[in-house]
Amino acid sequence: MSDRYAVILAAGKGTRMKSKLYKVLHPVAGKAMVDHVLTSVNEAGIDEVVTIVGHGAEAVQELLGDRTSYTVQTEQLGTGHAVQQAADQLAAKQGTTLVICGDTPLFTAETITRLIDAHEQSGYKATILTAPADVPTGYGRIVRGKDGHVMKIVEEKDANDVEKLITEINTGTYVFDNALLFEALDKVGNDNVQGEYYLPDVIEILKEDGHAVGAFQMDNLDESLGVNDRVALAQANKTAFKRINEKHMRNGVTIVDPDATYIEADVVIGADTVIEPNVYIKGKTVIGEDNHIYAGTTIRDSIIGNNVKVRSSEIEESEVKDGVDIGPNAHLRPNSSIDENAHIGNFVEIKKAHIGAGTKVGHLTYIGDATLGKNINVSCGVIFANYDGVNKYHSTVGDNSFIGSDVTIVSPVNIAENAFLAAGSTITKDVPSKALGIARSRQENKDGFWDHLAISKKD
């Protein structure tokens, strides 16, 4: 097998997106389009990748890092001109080069591998990846001779009426003999409506020079979708989410309604987990086995253990260990950690806090910047007042303590193990082990008040 290279075209302005965000950075299933493309190229075993960047180059480089090298196309003068920018890195090398667009996020590593394998086995010097299209409008057409061999590719804007009737379209993805590719690029002109240097012209140049050119046709067009506007972006997202959901279901995950479940590309889910409708699982979330994610839940960049129940809640950048029960309508904000068999109930907000194993936080509570030990009972309406308007402060609560309803803990304080905090207290000082902390006005009963009130009403 010869050395394999790839050129990813990611320099286009993307004006039809009507967006301030660089086109190839628009997310599909939670991952930038160009990241999808590079991931598939890397998984296909390509030896060296060059990404052509233009507008937003710094943002693309920051995202993709050292998984690829880069070259800048300062003027957008067409796809042929874009590939030519990689000459310094690739022109002197021998091997096979894949050219793929950075706005085609649905291509799989399997398709890329099949395409390159077919090219190398056929002996062609160029292979075009094509697809059948019921409505080919907007795509370049594959023009074949009477013998069925590829003659040329004609762009939509340059096609005549007969050529526009052709339904085999160019997906914009090619494989070339590397040395011949860069030789032919030097011969490409810009005598066309747009005044640009088209990569498809390389096909005609190679044929004129006597080299064999072939086509590898995909079964359908979906995988080759190029995202040029928001409509296509929505279509790509729909296809990507469907593909992701099917993968998880085949791996033993129950998804009650795949059409109403949104799992992003880098999410990992264990077997026998059940996911109800209207659930969003985002980022690099890892979910274990035997969990139940109820309807209306959002989980982002979090780690969920096994046998966890999450009811209509939001979890962000947090860790939830085995056997935890969350919700409904709880909110775990970033840097929260919930240990085994804890309970986080309805309308509870946790922020940058650690909740120990077996601790129960039932309802209507805010815990921020705190460390709670094991087997603590946090009653209704408890507030950790952690912010004084300038700084945030941390409090701790020891194992087996009891916090009564409507307690406010004014941080920073330390509540020792086995302590009791009386309902309605405002705790501003440390509470030692086995002590009762109480900070509220003493109750006073006014005898005969009812009669006094009745007399007042008559008057």
- Report how far residue 56's alpha carbon sits from residue 54's, in angstroms, rounded to the nearest whole number: 6
Do the two domains 4-224 and 251-437 of this chain adopt the same fold? no
- pTM of this prediction? 0.92
pLDDT at 290: 99
pLDDT at 145: 83
- Residue of 244, 236, 234 lying closest to 269 (CA atoms): 244
Q: Which two tokens stand for residue 192?
A: 């066309």
pLDDT at 453: 81
Three-class SS state of 116? helix
- Report how far residue 37's alpha carbon sits from residue 76's, in angstroms, rounded to the nearest whole number: 21
pLDDT at 148: 78
Where along the chain do its domains lie? Answer: 4-224, 251-437
- What amino acid positions are annotated as catalytic residues? 363
Kindly write down the DSSP assignment for every residue of 346-377, as one continuous string. Answer: EEEEEEEEEE-TT-EEEEEEEEEEEEE-SS-E
Half-sphere exposure of 434 (CA within 13 A, CB side): 0
pLDDT at 458: 63
pLDDT at 455: 72
- Output DSSP code: residue 113: H
* Burial of 97 (C-beta count, 10 Å sphere; 0-12/13-18/19+): buried
CA-to-CA dists, residue 456 to 361, 387, 445, 453, angstroms: 45, 45, 19, 5
- Report how far residue 380's alpha carbon sits from residue 413's, in angstroms, rounded to the nearest whole number: 20
pLDDT in tens, the chain (459 residues): 789 999 999 998 889 999 999 999 999 999 999 999 999 999 999 999 999 999 789 999 999 999 999 999 998 899 999 999 999 999 999 999 999 999 999 999 999 999 999 999 999 999 999 999 988 988 889 998 888 788 888 888 889 999 999 999 999 999 999 999 999 999 999 988 788 898 989 999 999 999 999 999 998 889 999 999 999 999 999 999 999 999 999 999 999 999 999 999 999 999 999 999 999 999 999 999 999 999 999 999 999 999 999 999 999 999 999 999 999 999 999 999 999 999 999 999 999 999 999 999 999 999 999 999 999 999 999 999 999 999 999 999 999 999 999 999 999 999 999 999 999 999 999 999 999 999 998 889 999 988 888 776 665
pLDDT at 146: 82
- Report how far residue 384's alpha carbon sits from residue 353's, in angstroms, rounded to the nearest whole number: 11
Structural contact between residues 238 and 259, judged by C-beta atoms closer than 8 angstroms: no
Structural contact between residues 216 and 120, judged by C-beta atoms closer than 8 angstroms: no
CATH of domain 251-437: 2.160.10.10
Half-sphere exposure of 326 (CA within 13 A, CB side): 38
pLDDT at 353: 99
Say which CATH topology domain 4-224 has. Spore Coat Polysaccharide Biosynthesis Protein SpsA; Chain A (3.90.550)
